[in-house]
Amino acid sequence: MPDTLPADWTASPASFADSPLSQALRQPLLLGLFLPLQQGGWSPSSHPRGTDWRFDYNARLAQQAEALGFDLAFGLAKWLGKGGYGGATQYHGLTLDPFIVTTALAAVTRRILLISTIHVLYGPWHPLHLTKFGATLDHIAQGRWGINVVTGHRESEHRRFGKAPIPHGLRYEMADEFLRIAKQLWAASEEVSIAGRFWNLEAAYEALKPCYGRPVIVSASGSQAGIDFAARHSDILFTTSPGGAALDAAVETLPALVDSIRRASFAAGRPPLRSLVNPLIICRPTEREALQYRDAIIAAADHEAIANFSGDRSDAQGFRGFQADQRALGANTIHIVGSPEQVTDQLARLKRTGIDGVQIAFFDFEPDLAFFGSDVLPLLKQAGLRL
């Protein structure tokens, strides 16, 4: 670990050649695992599977992904009412908090980057909280911790905290001030006093510093305001397909999105922002088997849960291309279905759009991840997508 901080307090952990982020970014295609911290994972379907929201299951998945060489893992943060999205599956009725889960995972993993999704505008969060908690967790993880900064796009979630929904653009103005203060505190060698527009500090200081200047910062957005925010602050932007779940539509629409991300990075005067998209992968030894499995999942769709999910008001622009009838297989995910060879080809097609990595979900996580590791990962290496 470095003995001193970089002179520029906005510098990324990627500025350090030996940081875990720098090591991950050497991969041609970043591989992430989207942990199923919520009941039902990403698929509101009652087709039989072992996917489980509980910690022990997710810890096994994180260790399994690490053993396979995956670069990062993180999960959703959800604030829902009783029963989640309802239906026969009680979709997302039970969820774990990703910040707490990441803390526990840091103690049972050694290499994989661990990203905590946090709604920084909900409840009592203050930049000083993040400074202390984040530096602590980064030390536990030995420089492998990061924050996925989200501002909250669902109206119902804001109201659960007793607050009126915040307009889209204002949310990013608030998050911008929040992160600027946190980054300044992580780098400060003296006490900091700030009279901000949204947050104030007086003689604030945190002696404990992150291992590599600051933690990894991830943003999740598909809007221009979100992209501009990520270009100013983030190392990685997690985004969605503007064309929805179908691979052909994703491949057609992603290049323009990637171009806008690169232009925003250039305008911000920072290193290129890396982009991740989120495929749900259904892979079997043959195409026929994969299609049969896909069709069985869709046939068992929980239509009530899908309707409730689709009707939960959101101003997230990145989800506008996703149709309700696509969500039984994977809500707001790109769908990749086929044999190991076909899955490899489809991931290569996504890579050619300009994206830097994939944050993968599965239907039945544990066996599907194992099959991906044994039958797809070697093909990705042969294709030059993984080292």
Count of CB atoms situated within 10 Å of the CB of 2 = 16
The overall average pLDDT reported for the chain is 93
Predicted structure pTM score: 0.95
Q: What is the pLDDT of residue 3?
A: 41
What is the per-residue pLDDT across 257-281, written as a single tens digit (0 to 9) for each? 999 999 999 999 988 899 999 999 9
What is the per-residue pLDDT across 18-51, written as a single tens digit (0 to 9) for each? 999 999 999 999 999 999 999 999 999 999 999 9
Distance CA 77, CA 125 (A): 14
Q: What is the pLDDT of residue 113?
A: 98
Q: What is the pLDDT of residue 124?
A: 83
What is the per-residue pLDDT across 285-309, written as a single tens digit (0 to 9) for each? 999 999 999 999 999 999 999 999 9
Q: Could you give the residue ranges of the DSSP H alpha helices within the chain?
A: 20-24, 55-68, 98-106, 127-140, 155-160, 168-187, 224-233, 247-268, 287-299, 303-311, 340-352, 365-371, 377-382
* The pLDDT of residue 316 is above 90: no
Q: What is the pLDDT of residue 11?
A: 77
* The pLDDT of residue 374 is above 70: yes
Q: What is the pLDDT of residue 10?
A: 57
Distance CA 255, CA 225 (A): 18
Distance CA 264, CA 272 (A): 9
Q: What is the pLDDT of residue 319?
A: 60
**28-to-10, 25, 257, 356 alpha-carbon distances in Å:** 25, 8, 19, 7
Q: What is the pLDDT of residue 7?
A: 41
Query: Could you give all domains of the chain from N- to C-terminal order, each with its CATH number?
Result: 13-382 (3.20.20.30)
* Mean pLDDT computed over 318-323: 64
What is the per-residue pLDDT across 196-216, written as a single tens digit (0 to 9) for each? 999 999 999 999 999 999 999
Q: How confident is the model at residue 322 (pLDDT cuts 50, 70, 90)?
A: low
* Burial zone of 94 (CB within 10 Å; 0-12 exposed, 13-18 middle, 19+ buried): middle
Q: Of the candidates 366, 369, 365, 364, which has an alpha carbon nearest to the alpha carbon of residue 49?
A: 364
Q: What is the pLDDT of residue 323?
A: 73
